[in-house]
Structure formats: C-alpha cells, structure tokens
Structure 1
Amino acid sequence: MNIIYIHGLDSDANSTKGVLLEKYCQQYHPDISVYRPDLNSAPEQVFEQLVKLVTQLNRDAETVLIGSSLGGYFSTLVSNHTGCAALLLNPSTQPHITLQRFASESSSKASGERKALENEILHITAGGWHITHADLQWFAAHPLGLINYPDKMAVFIKEGDELLNPYLSRDFYRALDARVTLQEGGDHRFSDFDVQLPIVIDTLQRLLQP
C-alpha cells in the first residue's frame, strides 16, 4: 500500500501528522510507503500534482489518501477523479467560502476604492503559498457536490473542531454515503492523531477491501 498524506492550509511536507504517520508505518507496517508532498501551490497545480502522483504510484501498489482540513477537500476531488480510497480528517468542504476571510482582510487594509486584481496576494501561508483572488475563484469553480466512490471514503471529524463547523462536514459526507465517524472533543489539528494511528491504518485497509 502507498499512502499520500495531504496536508492542510498552514502546513507543509513536514506536517506533524504526516511525519507521525510515516514513522509509525516504518516501525509497524514496513510494507506501507508514505509520501508527504509539499502542496503550497495554486490549487489547480496541487490537484494536477496529486493526480499525477496517484497515477504513478498505482503502477506498483494500491494508493490511498489521507487528507487533513483543506487536504480533505483535495482528497475528495482526487478520489473522485482517480477512484483511489481516501480518509479525511476534519475536512474542509467549502474553501471557496471559508477562505474568503483573506479577501475581506485584504479589502479592509486597502486605501480608497480599487478593483482587486486576480494576482493580488491576499495571504501567505506558513508553508509559503501566496493565496490570490484567482485561487479563491478556482475553489468556487470546483465545489464539492458528489462523491463518485463513497464506499472508498471514510471521514473522521472532531466535535471540538474550533476552525471548521464539524456538523456541516458530517452532514455533507453522510448525505453522500461516505463512512463518517464523529468523535467527541478534540480540536481541528487532531492532536491525538498519534494514538489513533492503529485505527487509521485499519480503516485504510478496510477501504481497500472489495
């Protein structure tokens, strides 16, 4: 099995959960290879990069995705496109709405009235992604509406998610027949990810069963 870990907004290839996952697999599942690409690029580039990586890895072994937050959004798109299994952690379902906060911040800082340009930088993430109006437009043009392979998708959601509405995500994925587990407490970062790793691997293996 190959696992591609897809990090969230303010993260990178060395995200805490991605590193924990790789170390766990090296110790307990040496037959599993973990890939942690840096995805601090424009969303269309991220999507193309992930589809290409899935296609390449699938030649050697079945490839699955683990996506956190915005990574959950991308995992859904890529799963729909490639048919690979995916486990989502506190997934973002409406980035075209939630990321508008950066456009609002930019407008409030502007002096006088001016038309926002597509390439205007609205926010720079911790990983170095320069978010622009064009990025927000891409998300708006690629909303999540369907899940093409619901039997290959599982979702872990923390009720204590302080950044995204956990019930919005729960209702969205349940309505589309994905396997949703709503966990008590917790936070957006999934701080107990280390103790959930056995469940994570078991879930992925179950998703691959015919």
Structure 2
Amino acid sequence: MPLKNIPRDIPQPTTHVLYLHGFRSSPQSTKAQQMTKVMAEQYPHITWWCPQLPPSPQAAVALIHQGTADWPAHRMAVMGSSLGGFYATWLAVQRGCKAVLLNPAIDPARDLATYIGEQTAWHDPTERFYFAPEFVDELRVLEVGPLPHPERVWALIAKGDEVLDWHEMTVRYPGSQQVVMEGGDHAISNFESYLPQVLAFLDLQPGV
C-alpha cells in the first residue's frame, strides 16, 4: 500500500528516536550510551537525539517540543528512563507516538519534593544544579491520564528497583506491553540483554 494511503495516526516503521534520561542523569548514562552505540553502528540513517535535559520540567518539555517539532508523529518514538519515562509518557500522549519506558517515574511531583535544593549529577559529581520548589508544580502540570494508545507503549520494569515501586509502574500502564523482570535494579544494569526486544518494538528498518 502506498504510504500516502496510510492514515497518519497509525505508526509506521520508526525513522526518528528520542532518548530522555532520568533525574540527575545525563546522555552519559549506561543505557543511553548503549542505545547511542547501537544506533550509530546499526541504524545510522535513523534520526537519533539524546539531549541533556535542564532541571526545570517546563524547560525540559520546551526543549523536547522544540527539538521534535518537525518529526513525523507516526514515524517517531521516544525512550525514557525514570523521570525521562514520565516525560516520555507525556510526549506519547501529545504526539500519539511509540514509547519505550524504562522503570518510568509515575508520580515524580511526589517523589522529588524531598529533593528540593542543590543536587549533584550522577555521572559527574562536580556538576551541580538546583532543583527549585516550583519544579514540583511544573511536574504536576505534565501529569496525564489514561493513555489513548496504550498499545504503542512498551515498558521494562524491574521488581528490584530500589527507587521506584514496581507495582505502581505496572498498574499505570494497563493495556501496554510490559516486561517485568525479577530482581534487577533502578538503573537496569542488564539493559543490554533487553536491547533486541527494544529494537523489535521500535520497528527500525535497515538502511537502503
């Protein structure tokens, strides 16, 4: 069937992929680096973007919106880890695109209220940032209800997550594909073993 006859609200093979890191994390996280390597080596023709997100949720989503404004919603996908998974959920609702969620934060406004103040970055303790009180309200603004297209979401959830409650994660995404691993940790240290499933869900086509 010619592409022009395919409804735009039906996802097609992915041509654009966005990766959103978590709180205090960065594009230098192990998962982000593993994905960056795979995309560069196997899918160099796919648009790949893994930005450093600002501490302000409002500024973060503004950056995300600006950077993906011209991406085709039916051919884009977003990946998000922890707080990035919360942002990815918001974006999936906004654009109707595919989303891969890795131990996604469910209620970051609640969880991060205790982190107000100066913070250090995980991958560079010398790098500091300030998590302001108003950021909690900015997170509440981004909360979304039931997903209009739960079938476009694939979630990887670790029962051993030491930061987030895996029960909350599974309940939050009914109707979505979920892989719930026994044990594991918040960082999903064995993420590489799940890469084949991630890539299959993203439906990335080889270059011509």
Tell me if TM exceeds 0.5.
yes
Match of 2:44 in 1: 30
Cα 1:78/1:129, change in 2 over 3 Å? farther
Match of 1:57, SS state, is coil
Q: Is the 8 A contact 1:68 1:89 kept in 2?
A: yes
Q: Normalised by the size of structure 2, how large is the TM-score?
A: 0.81
Q: How far apart, CA to CA, are the structure 1 residues paired with 2:27 and 2:130?
A: 17
* 1:198-209 → structure 2 map (5 Å cutoff): 198-205=196-203
1:124 to 119, 124, 127: 119
1:6 is aligned to 20
1:192 aligns with 2:190: yes
8 A contact 1:12–1:40 mirrored in 2: no
Identity in percent = 27
Residue identity matched to 1:29: Y
Q: What residue number does 1:118 align with?
A: none
As a proportion of its length, which structure holds more helix? 1
With structure 1 as the length reference, what TM-score do the two structures score?
0.81
Matches within 5 A, 1:48-197: 48-58=62-72, 62-103=75-116, 122-126=117-121, 128-174=128-174, 177-197=175-195
Whole-angstrom distance in 1 between the partners of 2:141 and 2:120: 22
Corresponding residue pairs, total: 185
Residues 165-208 of structure 1: per-residue CA shift (max 9 Å, x gap) = 0111111112xx222221111100011112221111001119xx
Q: Conserved in 1, the CA contact under 8 Å of 2:109 and 2:136?
A: yes
CA–CA distance in structure 2, aligned partners of residues 101 and 39 of structure 1:
20
Indicate if the aligned counterparts of 1:67 and 1:91 stay in contact, CA closer than 8 A: yes
**Alpha-carbon distance between aligned partners in 1 of 2:109 and 2:139, rounded to the nearest angstrom:** 5
Q: How does 1:12-23 map to 2 (within 5 A)?
A: 12-23=26-37
Q: Which residue of 2 aligns with 1:117?
A: none
Question: Structure 1 unaligned runs (5+)?
Answer: 104-121
Distance in 2 between residues matched to 1:136 and 1:169, nearest whole Å:
20
Unaligned runs of 5+ in 2: 1-14, 122-126
Runs of 4+ deviating beyond 4 Å: none
